[in-house]
Amino acid sequence: MPHLILVRHGQSEWNLEKRFTGWVDVNLTSTGKLEACKAGECVKEQNIDIDFFYSSFQIRAINTLKLIQNTLRNKNEIIKAWELNERHYGALTGLNKDEMKKKIGEKKILELRRSWNIKPEPLNRNSPYHPLNIEIYKSISKKNIPDTESLENTFDRVVSYYKKEIENKLTLKKNVLISAHGNSIRALCKYLFKLNNKQISSLEIPTGNPLLIELNQDLKIKSCKYLIKERAKDLIIF
């Protein structure tokens, strides 16, 4: 039976600073690098040969995956897809979460962060944080680059890519590991575990903790677990 492993990148510099990151390219902290190495060790202990490695375009996810691969001694190509990027936080990008709670209220911030279809205000296209002004996105068609996104928007691009590029690999009984982000993994979990809009708003994804999903021949979930039990979150699945 095929296995799908989902890993949120290790702690990033802006995670540590409690800033809305979105599509901005920030690297891992030393803690984040250790989380990635630990994730690799946990995957290695499962004795599962990974056939395909996927990552977003973002350096924190790519470097997490490289550290995992180093631990696994696996040099397979990393397939990078912008569709697996974090949710674009629009005008919130770069702002401190605690400061914004004081400014507009905790309830409003929670709504902007966790609602299904509410978007933050769009990010000014002249901002250095806008993807249009970040080198790694120069290869992406401008029509695909958002100014802001809801979780629903993130779901649409992540799941569309998963269905098109990844499900067929699992159907062939290949094992797949995806290194991505809190919201892109939440979106994928909504699809995989058939969560409703209320459930997805409560789903937390821990950094650097591999979620191992075993699938049956129909790609239905047979079993799932976080590999680092003491840092697991409630999957609210069953």
The pairing of beta strand 3-8 with beta strand 52-55: unpaired
Q: Please state, in angstroms and rounded to a whole number, the distance separating the CA atoms of residues 173 and 158.
A: 21
> Which of the residues 3, 9, 130, 181 is marked catalytic?
9
Q: Please state, in angstroms and rounded to a whole number, the distance separating the CA atoms of residues 197 and 151.
A: 10
86 in catalytic set: yes
Where do we find the tokens 């929670």?
110
> Which of the residues 35, 83, 86, 149 is marked catalytic?
86
Cα 221–chain centre separation = 19
130 in catalytic set: no
Q: Please state, in angstroms and rounded to a whole number, the distance separating the CA atoms of residues 94 and 92.
A: 6
Q: Please state, in angstroms and rounded to a whole number, the distance separating the CA atoms of residues 27 and 59.
A: 6
Q: Please state, in angstroms and rounded to a whole number, the distance separating the CA atoms of residues 167 and 217.
A: 11
Residues 6+ apart with CB under 8 A from 5: 43, 48, 50, 175, 176, 177, 178, 210, 211, 212, 213
Q: Please state, in angstroms and rounded to a whole number, the distance separating the CA atoms of residues 185 and 175.
A: 17
| Residues classed as catalytic | 9, 86
